[in-house]
Structure formats: structure tokens, C-alpha cells
């Protein structure tokens, strides 16, 4: 018998007593010791790495830190999980860009629209630390402390002056660095309500929160208090929360916890999930959200006015809006389905073009259906956000979200969703913000207020994901984009007869995971917008494009 197979050379199991009787192990991580796994702190998949919560924090570290001051605990059930992320972006693009006026580098050219070529370089470094207590195989942790500081370095070049900073004579390049805090909270397990560990917990601090499956309404990392829990063996889930949004860093979009303040915007949200409803494999959710906005006027770090929007009457606005919605996600037999519907009802003291303000009545509907054919998933996407048909009356019917970040119709590989396309000649606002699908006419999604006097959005799209190998996926998307109503655009631009057809957004993306895991991911995508009649009315017939090179490394 080979020596490697000699039973006498195997370690004695810890679960046997001196008499040879089987005894239970005091905890599950002793099994790792018994099997003889070596400790490798650099390998997140080593299986014996206390930095990745495979085992409790070693005593020599617990005795030095704050854990030693916890009465009644010896620290043997405290775990630490560190995650490091490096996200690198290279993004050449061309989008409609205004001329800077008397100091433009295109002297003698009377066109309002200049050279739209730009290059974005960005490096983001994030370190997430999670400290928690409890045996969490089946039950929630008793305590959880989480911090997620993020550093962003970015550099942008443009062909036109006055684009990257407000002064018309500003340079055509800009470098910036930012430190943000995307999570900083404590989570306390309040109680178990069943022997299946249905529970109630409370979370206080800066915390990520998504109001629905696809990020259509509110997907942010605000400061707040959230009560949440599950019932009926995790079939039902609920959230009750109060949040205050933080000011964002202008160029990175991170929470500005150094120079920024809390915004004067209260958000109350309640949602309820029911798994396997109306049938197994499908989850239904209802959401009620109320936002009260009293934001003060502000300029961003580049000198551009953000609140109130530099459009229309340009006066400070206050509004109260309630959203009531239904969301569903899952499958019916072999068909996958995701659906989201919202009604927005409220009032504002002033609207974008009407100093008298009035009522807000707007609607939103989006759905995506797909089917898998072996290694191919084909899908159809539909989206409708109502537009405003009379900017001067006392009813605003253009739908806008609180803070969208949609995973829909290609997401950030799409030109229209990825890029902030400015409204040239009508006000210093964007038709749609970066990483947003709604034509909301905000200065920016991060710093601007919601605007319910907008042209609305219609999207009809098709796409497919092709898993060529376990490591390689190719995604293609085609979306036909329309305005719901161009009345607000015609007023802003003092231009009649703007067509509703925006154009055709075409994109393709390649995702490569060389190790077949999420720790090393490369993405390369390209997108273009073939102008429709409405886009040509606003910007001419030049095609816009966006190329995204992205590398994500995770520990």
C-alpha cells in the first residue's frame, strides 16, 4: 500500500473521544483544522482564511482590539471579511457638445454644436470591511459592522472649452480625485420569530438600498434607518426605512462625506416581497415611497448650477411626491419575466416653466421577457415613462425617479443609458443623465432635483446574451428610443416641430472571466446611436458613440 494511502498516517478526527465514542465538534471551523488545510491569507478561496470569514478572528488579534471589551463574549464567534476591489475604466466617446462661445478653438464656426470627442480615464479602489458576530450558516448575525471607503481618480479630455468646467476659457482637460464612503453602518439582530430563523433586524448608518429589482426608482447609498425582516421560512420579506441623501462628489458620483452635507430631502419607503407568488419561481413586490424635497440652491465643483436647474424660470423648487408601484421578477416555465410599474402623485410649489406650480401625475412601466435556448438567452425590453404635454399648466405629467440606476436594455453598455447627453441651446441640463434611461432634463442625476416637466421616454428593444464558453459571454442589444411628448423640449429650445423619434441605440459587449469566477473580470463594449428625426432636430445627423474598456479585480 502506498504511504499516501496508509490509514495510520491520517490525522485523528477531533470528533472521537478517548474511548472511541463519537462526540460533536464545538464549532464547524474545527473540521478545517482536522482536514489539515493550510492557512493562506492571500488566497480568498483557500478555505482557511480568517480575513475572508472562513474562521473566527484569531485570539491574538481579538485580545488587542475592541472585541476584548465586550462583556460576556470571548470573541470566538466574531468574524472579519475583507473585500478589495480595483475597477479600471478607459472610455473614449463622442456625444453632442456645445461650443464655448467667444473662446472656442473652432473660431469662425458659427455652429452651436462643436467637436464632441472626449476621453475618460478612471480608477476606483474600494476596501470593504465587515465585522460580524454569530454562527451564520442558517441564522442572521447578531451584530454586523460594515465600512466601505472608496477612492476614485479620474482624468477627462474634451475637444471644446467650457465643457469640463464652467468658465468658457477653462482648459480642455480635467483631473480629479475623490474619497467617498458608500457604506458605514451597524446592523443589530433584534429577534427570531420562528425556529426557521425568521427574524427582525435594524440597520443604522450609510447603507446601500434598492427599492426594486432593476433599480428604476431609487438605487443609492443614503444615510438612514431601516427595519427589515423575513417571515414564513423566508417566503415573505419586508423593509421599512427613512433615508436622507448625501451630496455627491461632482466628477466621481461618490458620497461626498468630506466637503458635502446632507441634502434636505427625506425619503420614506416601505416594500414587501412575496416569493412564489402568483406561482412558484416568481417573486412579487409592492413598494410605497414618499419623498419630501426642500433642497437649497447649489453649484457643483466645476462651477455649474445644479439646483435650481438652469432651465425655464430657474427658481428654487419644493415638492412632495409619493410613488406606488408593483415589481415582479422570476420565471413562468421556461420564460423569464421582469416587470415594474409606478404611479407618481404629488405637488410642487413651482414647476420648471410655471412659477405657480401644481399637481404631479406621472406613470412608468417597464418589462423585460426572455427565454433560454441552451447557451443563448434572447430577450425583449419595453419601457414607457410618461411625458408632459403642456409645460405651462398646473399639472406636471412627466415621470422622473428619485435616483435611478437601471439594469435594463444593456445597462451601462448602451449609449443612451451610459452617456449624459446635454440639451444644447435650451438650458444647461441633460436629456438623460449618466447611467440613467429617463429623459428627465436634470442638470445631473447625482446633484439635481427631480423634474416632472419632461418629454418622457419610450424604449422598445431586443437583445441576446451568448455564453460562448464558461469564461466568455457576448451580449448584443438594439433599442429604438422615442420621446413621449416633445412639448417641454419645444418650449426649452424655442423650436417647434421636434420629432418624437430619438434614434436607434446599438451596442455589443464582451465579458471575459479568465478564471471562471468574479474575481477577475474584463469587459469591452461599444455602442452607437443612429440618429432619428428628433435627434437630428436637436443635434444634427452626426452619430454618437461610446467605447468602454473595464477591468475589475476583486479579493
pLDDT interval class at 22 (50, 70, 90): low
**Rounded Cα gap, residues 510 and 413, in angstroms:** 10
Looking at the structure, do residues 30 and 150 belong to the same domain, yes or no? no
In this structure, the answer to whether residues 133 and 19 fall within a common structural domain is no
Cβ atoms of 413 and 525 closer than 8 Å: yes
The answer to whether residues 31 and 126 belong to one domain is no
- pLDDT (average), residues 314-332: 96
Least confident of 103-107, 168-172, 349-353, 380-384: 103-107
The whole domain housing 24 covers: 1-36
Cβ neighbours around 288 below 10 Å, total: 14
Confidence of residue 1 (pLDDT cuts 50, 70, 90): very low
12/124 same-domain check: no
Looking at the fold, whether 196 and 101 belong to one and the same domain comes out as yes
More confident residue, 278 or 2: 278
- 463: CATH: 2.40.160.100
More confident residue, 3 or 419: 419
Q: Does residue 70 lie in a domain region?
A: no
Record the cell numbers describing residue 367, joined without a space. 418589462
- Cell 477591468 belongs to 551
Task: Please tell me the pTM assigned to this model.
Answer: 0.90
In a domain, 286, yes or no: yes
* Among the listed residues 96, 79, 5, the one whose alpha carbon sits nearest the alpha carbon of residue 537: 96
Q: Is residue 463 part of a domain?
A: yes
Burial label for 294, CB within 10 Å (0-12, 13-18, 19+), is middle
Distance CA 16, CA 64 (A): 34
Instruction: Indicate whether 275 and 365 sit together in one domain.
Output: yes
Least confident of 84-93, 226-235, 256-265, 436-445: 256-265
- Determine contact, residues 176/259, Cβ cutoff 8 Å: no
Going by the DSSP 8-state scheme, the letter that residue 218 receives in this structure is B
DSSP-assigned letter for residue 442: B
User: Is the pLDDT score of 110 beyond 50?
Assistant: no
Give domain status of residue 55, yes or no. Answer: no
DSSP characters for 282-346? EEEEEEEEEEEE-PPPEE-TTS-EEES-SSTT-----EEEEEEEEEEEEEETTEEEEEEEEEEEE
- What domain count does the chain have? 2
- Is residue 283, in this structure, part of any structural domain at all? yes
Q: Are residues 32 and 96 in the same domain?
A: no
- Is residue 64 included in any domain, yes or no? no
405 and 528 belong to one structural domain: yes
Residue found by looking up cell 464558461 in the block: 470
Task: Check whether residue 27 and residue 172 sit in a common domain.
Answer: no
Domain-located, residue 47: no
Tens-digit pLDDT profile for residues 208-258 = 999 999 999 999 999 999 999 999 999 999 999 999 999 999 999 999 988
Residue 515, Cβ density class (10 Å: 0-12 exposed, 13-18 middle, ≥19 buried): exposed
- Band the pLDDT of 198: cuts 50, 70, 90: very high
pLDDT tens, position by position, 112-147: 788 889 999 999 999 999 999 987 777 889 999 999
Residue 405 lies in a domain: yes
In terms of domains, do 26 and 116 share one? Answer: no
pLDDT for position 71:
43
Q: Are residues 25 and 91 in the same domain?
A: no
* Between 113 and 547, residue with greater pLDDT: 547
Q: Based on the number of CB atoms within 10 Å of its own CB, is 10 exposed (0-12), middle (13-18) or buried (19 or more)?
A: exposed
- pLDDT for 161-184, tens place per residue? 888 998 877 889 999 999 999 999
Amino acid at each position: 500500500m502506498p504511504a499516501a494511502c496508509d490509514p495510520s498516517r491520517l490525522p485523528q478526527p477531533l470528533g472521537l473521544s478517548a474511548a472511541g465514542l463519537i462526540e460533536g465538534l464545538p464549532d464547524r471551523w474545527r473540521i478545517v483544522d482536522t482536514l489539515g488545510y493550510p492557512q493562506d491569507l492571500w488566497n480568498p478561496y483557500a478555505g482557511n482564511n480568517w480575513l475572508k470569514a472562513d474562521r473566527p478572528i484569531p485570539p491574538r488579534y481579538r485580545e488587542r482590539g475592541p472585541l476584548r471589551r465586550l462583556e460576556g463574549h470571548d470573541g470566538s464567534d466574531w468574524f472579519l471579511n475583507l473585500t478589495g476591489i480595483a475597477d479600471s475604466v478607459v472610455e473614449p466617446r463622442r456625444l453632442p457638445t456645445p461650443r464655448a462661445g467667444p473662446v472656442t478653438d473652432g473660431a469662425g464656426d458659427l455652429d452651436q454644436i462643436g467637436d464632441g470627442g472626449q476621453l475618460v480615464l478612471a480608477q476606483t479602489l474600494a476596501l470593504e470591511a465587515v465585522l460580524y458576530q454569530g454562527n451564520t450558516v442558517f441564522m442572521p448575525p447578531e451584530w454586523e459592522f460594515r465600512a466601505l471607503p472608496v477612492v476614485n481618480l479620474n482624468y477627462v479630455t474634451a475637444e471644446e472649452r467650457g465643457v469640463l468646467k464652467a468658465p468658457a476659457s477653462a482648459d480642455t482637460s480635467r483631473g480629479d480625485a475623490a474619497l467617498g464612503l458608500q457604506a458605514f453602518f451597524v446592523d443589530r439582530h433584534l429577534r427570531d420569530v420562528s425556529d426557521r430563523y425568521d427574524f427582525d433586524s435594524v440597520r443604522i448608518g450609510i447603507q446601500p438600498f434598492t427599492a426594486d429589482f432593476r433599480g428604476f426608482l431609487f438605487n443609492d447609498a443614503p444615510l438612514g434607518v431601516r427595519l427589515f425582516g423575513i417571515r414564513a421560512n423566508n417566503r415573505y420579506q419586508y423593509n421599512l426605512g427613512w433615508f436622507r441623501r448625501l451630496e455627491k462628489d461632482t466628477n466621481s458620483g461618490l458620497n461626498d462625506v468630506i466637503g458635502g452635507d446632507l441634502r434636505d430631502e427625506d425619503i420614506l419607503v416601505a416594500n414587501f416581497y412575496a416569493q412564489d407568488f402568483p406561482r412558484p419561481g416568481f417573486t412579487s413586490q409592492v413598494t410605497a415611497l414618499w419623498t419630501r424635497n426642500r433642497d437649497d440652491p447649489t453649484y457643483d465643483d466645476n462651477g455649474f448650477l445644479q439646483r435650481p436647474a438652469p432651465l425655464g424660470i430657474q427658481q428654487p423648487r419644493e415638492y412632495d411626491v409619493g410613488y406606488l408601484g408593483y415589481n415582479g421578477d422570476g420565471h413562468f416555465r421556461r420564460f423569464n419575466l421582469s416587470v415594474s410599474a409606478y404611479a407618481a402623485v404629488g405637488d410642487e410649489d413651482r414647476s420648471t416653466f410655471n412659477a405657480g406650480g401644481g399637481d404631479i401625475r406621472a406613470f412608468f412601466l417597464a418589462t423585460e421577457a426572455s427565454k433560454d435556448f441552451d447557451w443563448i438567452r434572447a430577450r425583449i425590453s419595453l419601457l414607457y415613462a410618461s411625458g408632459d404635454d403642456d409645460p405651462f399648466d398646473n399639472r406636471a405629467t412627466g415621470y422622473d425617479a428619485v435616483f435611478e440606476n437601471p439594469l435594463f436594455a444593456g445597462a451601462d453598455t448602451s449609449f443612451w443609458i451610459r452617456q449624459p447627453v446635454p440639451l444644447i441651446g435650451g438650458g444647461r441640463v441633460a436629456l438623460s443623465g449618466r447611467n440613467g434611461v429617463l429623459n428627465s432634463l436634470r442638470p445631473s442625476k447625482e446633484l439635481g432635483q427631480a423634474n416632472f416637466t419632461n418629454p418622457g421616454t419610450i424604449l422598445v428593444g431586443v437583445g441576446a446574451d451568448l455564453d460562448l464558453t464558461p469564461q466568455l459571454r457576448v451580449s448584443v442589444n438594439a433599442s429604438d428610443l422615442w420621446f413621449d411628448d416633445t412639448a417641454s423640449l419645444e418650449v426649452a429650445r424655442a423650436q417647434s416641430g421636434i420629432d418624437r423619434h430619438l434614434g436607434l441605440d446599438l451596442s455589443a459587449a464582451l465579458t471575459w472571466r479568465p478564471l471562471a469566477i468574479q474575481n477577475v473580470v474584463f469587459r469591452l463594449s461599444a455602442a452607437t446611436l443612429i440618429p432619428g428625426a428628433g435627434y437630428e432636430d436637436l443635434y444634427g445627423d452626426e452619430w454618437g458613440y461610446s467605447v468602454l474598456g473595464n477591468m475589475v479585480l476583486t479579493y
